[in-house]
Amino acid sequence: AQKVTQAQTEISVVEKEDVTLDCVYETRDTTYYLFWYKQPPSGELVFLIRRNSFDEQNEISGRYSWNFQKSTSSFNFTITASQVVDSAVYFCALSEIGYNQGGKLIFGQGTELSVKP
Amino acid sequence: DTEVTQTPKHLVMGMTNKKSLKCEQHMGHRAMYWYKQKAKKPPELMFVYSYEKLSINESVPSRFSPECPNSSLLNLHLHALQPEDSALYLCASSPNTQEYFYNEQFFGPGTRLTVL
């Protein structure tokens, strides 16, 4: 069965600290996509990154970086020098490729990050 | 234009009312989605439209009725809802091809629905 686990329900840090959000997934398929979304208090889910199962290169975008390790089925997200504006719920999601899968995203339970000044 | 818009932002309705939620995108995306999200939970998929045809219905009760009048618009008609249907309703779109669905989904800001 496909499943995404975000074991950290809530994380609280002080501004400028680095923080890593963990994501572990399960899938029977060899071809799949992983995503991270940010949901600030306003409610809109903001797309952050997509990674396919064949690309294990880590990615850095400004203060954000992602570590994809197929061997451990993990796709962790690190925020460097966190800021108050990073406070949000972060969702990791899995999508399988296939005809008529409908782009079904399987979400983790989310990690609520609170960055205090 | 890289956004998905949803109206209204907030909606309060009684259990006997009929109302509709509207979603619009002008990115040329051919897949559109409705999600329901309860507080402190991840979004739950309700419906998927691909090329204006309903391709997935996640066993949603018939009091929710989706409609896709054209490639840019998605509606969700609500009738005889229950208080437990109160939630944030999110619309999303994606530039999927007809065969494979692997692109990221872009979400609207949602409609906060309260059923009294």
pLDDT at position A100 over 70: no
pLDDT tens digits, one per residue of A12-53: 999 999 999 999 999 988 888 899 999 999 889 999 998 988
pLDDT value at position B1? 57
Q: How many CB atoms lie within 10 A of CB B42?
A: 22
Task: Give, in order, the Cα–Cα distances in Å from A43 to each of B26, B32, B73.
Answer: 21, 18, 21
Q: Which of A44, A98, A100 sits opposite B107 (nearest CB)?
A: A44
Tell me the H-state helices in chain B.
none
Q: Both tokens of residue B44?
A: 């739950």
Minimal C-alpha gap between B59 and chain A (Å): 14
Q: Do A44 and B109 make contact, defined as CB atoms within 8 angstroms?
A: yes
pLDDT value at position A16? 97
pLDDT value at position B113? 97
pLDDT value at position B99? 54
pLDDT value at position A94? 93
Positions of chain B with pLDDT lower than 70, given as ranges: 1-2, 97-102
Minimal C-alpha gap between B10 and chain A (Å): 12
Model confidence at A117, in pLDDT bands (50, 70, 90)?
very high
Region of residue A30 (left: phi > 0; alpha: psi -120 to 50; beta: else):
alpha
pLDDT value at position A95? 86
Residues A56, B51: Cα–Cα separation, whole Å = 32
pLDDT tens digits, one per residue of A63-73: 999 999 999 99
pLDDT value at position B30? 87
Residue A71 main-chain phi, psi, to 5 deg: -65, -30
pLDDT value at position A1? 74
Q: Which residues 12-51 on chain B approach chain A with CB closer than 8 angstroms? A: 31, 33, 40-43, 45, 48, 50
Q: Does A100 touch chain B (CB under 8 A)?
A: yes
Q: Closest Cα to residue B52, out of B63, B73, B75, B68?
A: B68
pLDDT value at position B61? 95
Residues of B in contact with A105 (CB under 8 A): 43, 45, 105
pLDDT tens digits, one per residue of A79-94: 999 999 999 999 999 9
Model confidence at A101, in pLDDT bands (50, 70, 90)?
low
Residues A109, B41: Cα–Cα separation, whole Å = 6
pLDDT value at position A104? 79
